[in-house]
Amino acid sequence: MRKHVLFLAFLVFANMGNQIHAQVEGDVKISCENGDNGSYKFYCENRLYCSGVIEINFTRLENLKGVDDNPYKKDITGRGKRLLFTLLPIDPNQTTNFKYSYTYIRGCMKPNINPEFVYLLPIGTGKSTKANQLELVHIGKNPEPKDYYALSFKVNAGDTIYAARRGIVYLVKDTANLTGEGYTYSSKDNYIEIFHEDCSFGHYEVFDKSLVKEGQQVEAGDPMAIAGGEKYVSGAHVRFYVYYNFEQKYAIKNSDGTDVKNYWAYVPLVFYTQEEKAKMLTMNKEYTCEKPESIIIQEMSKRELKNWRKKKP
């Protein structure tokens, strides 16, 4: 009996200089183990603090059954190892043979995005800021993402940066050390990414120190980082955007003849401020941060709300 296995490296995406960060090898692993009576059990091990979509493509599948669709595609939720499916021999007296590759991308096949969801400003209560929209800068030949929308908020160095929405801390990078001066942009700055309940990701960038760790639950309005950015021409600021998995195919092709795909879309954000309760921000207009309980608790269950109120100072 023969078995052929081929693994494909994880997909890499980047845009606007702000990279949408790809998985590194080992974060998500597909494995195949021998089962009873000539069967093969396929497992997925997710070591990330977010959901994702796994796609397994069989380029050879001889005398085996167990997957209805090829490629096999499934949402993976939660951390840990789980059984995906079992391949069974159709004729136990014949040789079986298979070959496959797999890809993984963060998010869900069908994100539940509400464009009217209201976010908090990522600054302290009573503090004021002005927002500017960041320009889209292409890296490589990636097509333009859907609904591109990313903001830069003016802050003071040393200010605390707060969560604009509840979620799980998915990624933290706080080891950056920009050695120059007068930056207009750097893709090497510190960042934090939060995985939201609707399968979107909140990206916070440019700070000196993280106050959270990967796997931590944060509520809207919780402190997350200490602002930096003094080495930029624009001064201290925090960049913020929300994106989600959205597969698009384009008319152009890759060099190998496959479709060019773009997997990301952005959310045009609505914020609660002292001046305007639930609207998109006007660029370069001053806004004051308010954090009403109704916005903080909007995604909490009754039990979570009860526990949260018990912990309030």
Contact 186, 16 (CB under 8 A): no
pLDDT at 305 over 60: yes
pTM (2 d.p.) = 0.86
| pLDDT for the residue numbered 273 | 97
Q: Are 17 and 187 in contact (CB under 8 A)?
A: yes
Q: Quick: pLDDT tens for 248-290.
A: 766 666 666 666 666 789 999 999 999 999 999 999 999 999 9
Residue 69 one-letter amino acid? D
Collect all residues with Cβ–Cβ distance below 8 Å to 263 and sequence separation of at least 6.
11, 13, 105, 107, 245, 246, 247, 248
Structure tokens at 231: 């080495």
Residue ranges per structural domain of the chain = 28-106, 118-311
Beta pairing partners, 60: 99
CATH architecture of 118-311: Distorted Sandwich (2.70)
Please tell me the predicted confidence (pLDDT) of residue 144. Answer: 76
pLDDT band at residue 107 using 50, 70 and 90 as cut-offs: very high
Percent of the chain at pLDDT exceeding 90: 62
Nearest to 23 by CA among 263, 311, 300: 263
The 10s digit of each residue's pLDDT in 117-157 is 999 999 999 999 999 998 887 666 666 788 999 999 999 98
Question: What rounded mean pLDDT belongs to the chain?
Answer: 84
Give residue 25's pLDDT.
45
Q: Which CATH superfamily is domain 28-106 in?
A: Immunoglobulins (2.60.40.10)
Report residue 305: phi and psi, to 5°. Answer: -65, -45
